[in-house]
Amino acid sequence: MFEITFADLRYRYRQFLIAVIGAGLVLAMALLLSGLAGGFTAEIDRTVGGVGAQWWVLPDNAHSSITGSEVFPQSDAAVIARSPGVTRAAPLVIVLQQVARIGSQTSNVEVFGVQIGNLGDPAVTAGRPLSGAGQVVTDTGVGAALGTTITVGAMSLRVVGEVTDRSMLGGFPVVYMSLHDAQALAFGGRPLITEVVTRGTPATLPPGLAASGNQAIEQSVLTNLSGAISSINNSKIMMWVVAAMIVAALLYVSALQRVRDFAVLKALGSSSLALFVGLALQAVIVALAAAVFAMIISNFMFGLFKQPVAIPASAFATLPAIAVVVGLIASLVALRRATGADPAAAFG
């Protein structure tokens, strides 16, 4: 039976190759969708981790969310810095969804106002760090070259440095500026901040403030994106279904073409189970070949999305198992054609 199965694969290799490519492209999209969902986690992990803090102090009613608009006086930062257990503290101003103009182009950005030389001031990958007002360090996703001037709100700022992999909320790049500039942009120059970040655990805090760890901050941001993540995961499941349908269609057409072969095999004593095993083996081979093709081609498809794509290792590890399940389910479509073949047809 196995020899017949492999002989049929060789004989109909063009049909099977088309199915491998078609199902492989669909499975590659499923991998990329896993990467999109994983990208939300990866980008906020890089951006929050890049601040270099252990704790974030925010208003109680912010509920660990750095995407809100709750503010408090900058003077509280000095109080927190003197709290027992704190070795380093810095105020931050985070302003979301600002429009940056670069020449005739515009880009939506997230603004981080940082105290120069303190926590939150990014380590640049090109150019130089912030050294004063009127300057910005931008994520490469902004698309502004070093030395150019960008406009954020009513402020004109010169790009002095670049960072990589600093984005939020599905790929919106981060722009870093001085705390003073961010306060001028968001609060008309008033000494207000949106959070204080610390190294070391603050033992006491001013009234109305609460401390949250990096994990809580990241989870809060991801909660805001839960609808998008759920939609992506549902789309991924649909990709698996489409892949199963492609393999099933191939097997069904193949079974129609092999009805006389099945009749001969049954006349020679082959059981229905043996026929099904042969079909299932073909389906699994095609699905596994499609999975291998998907794992290769997905590495060249990242450019389809502007959002960060971070395919987790678990997705590559589970794809072969998913392919086997897809193949077995697809083989059920042709089962009736194989097992229902009349042995008498072999002599007709």
Q: What is the pLDDT of residues 153-171, one digit of tens each?
A: 888 999 999 999 898 887 8
How confident is the model at residue 345, as a pLDDT?
A: 47
Residues 84 and 180 in one domain: yes
pLDDT tens, position by position, 312-328: 888 888 888 888 887 77
Residues 237 and 122 in one domain: no
Residues 185 and 236 in one domain: no
Residues 146 and 67 in one domain: yes
Residues 196 and 248 in one domain: no
CA atoms within 13 A on the CB side of 203: 6
Long-range contacts of the stretch 179-183 (C-beta < 8 A, 24+):
179/91, 179/92, 179/93, 179/113, 179/114, 179/115, 179/116, 180/113, 180/133, 181/113, 181/133, 181/134, 181/155, 181/157, 182/93, 182/95, 182/111, 182/112, 182/113, 182/114, 183/74, 183/93, 183/113
Residues 291 and 320 in one domain: yes
Q: Which among 33-42, 99-108, 148-157, 220-229 has the top mean pLDDT? A: 148-157
Tell me if residue 257 falls in helix, strand or coil: helix
- Least trusted range by pLDDT, from 28-32, 117-121, 265-269, 275-279: 265-269
Of 299 and 331, more confident: 299
Residues 95 and 143 in one domain: yes
Instruction: Select from 200, 216, 244 the last residue of a domain.
Output: 200
Residue 97 has pLDDT above 70, yes or no: yes
How confident is the model at residue 339, as a pLDDT?
A: 56
Of 227 and 173, more confident: 173
Residues 118 and 147 in one domain: yes
- Other Cβ atoms less than 10 A from the Cβ of 207: the count is 6
| Residues 121-125, mean pLDDT to the nearest whole number | 92
How confident is the model at residue 9, as a pLDDT?
A: 63
Residue 54 has pLDDT above 80, yes or no: yes
- Whether residue 217 lies inside any domain: the answer is no
Residues 196 and 252 in one domain: no
pLDDT band at 36 (very low <50, low <70, confident <90, very high): confident
| Residues 101-116, mean pLDDT to the nearest whole number | 89
55 near 201, Cβ under 8 Å?
A: yes
Residues 65 and 107 in one domain: yes
| Residues 71-92, mean pLDDT to the nearest whole number | 94
- Whether residue 248 lies inside any domain: the answer is yes
Q: Report residue 253 as tokens.
A: 């057409």
Nearest in space to 287 (alpha carbons), one of 24, 28, 2, 4: 24
How confident is the model at residue 258, as a pLDDT?
A: 60
What is the average pLDDT value for the chain, to the nearest integer?
Answer: 83
How confident is the model at residue 30, as a pLDDT?
A: 87
| Residues 12-28, mean pLDDT to the nearest whole number | 82
Of 121 and 334, more confident: 121
How confident is the model at residue 346, as a pLDDT?
A: 47
Percent of the chain with pLDDT strictly greater than 90: 34
pLDDT tens, position by position, 232-269: 888 888 888 888 887 777 776 766 666 565 555 555 55
Residues 335 and 281 in one domain: yes
- Least trusted range by pLDDT, from 28-37, 81-90, 193-202, 312-321: 312-321
Residue 347 has pLDDT above 60, yes or no: no
How confident is the model at residue 120, as a pLDDT?
A: 92
CA atoms within 13 A on the CB side of 71: 15
Residues 59 and 178 in one domain: yes
Separation between Cα atoms, residue 155 and residue 6, nearest integer Å: 69
Q: Total domain count for the chain?
A: 2
185 near 95, Cβ under 8 Å?
A: yes
Domain that holds residue 118: 55-200
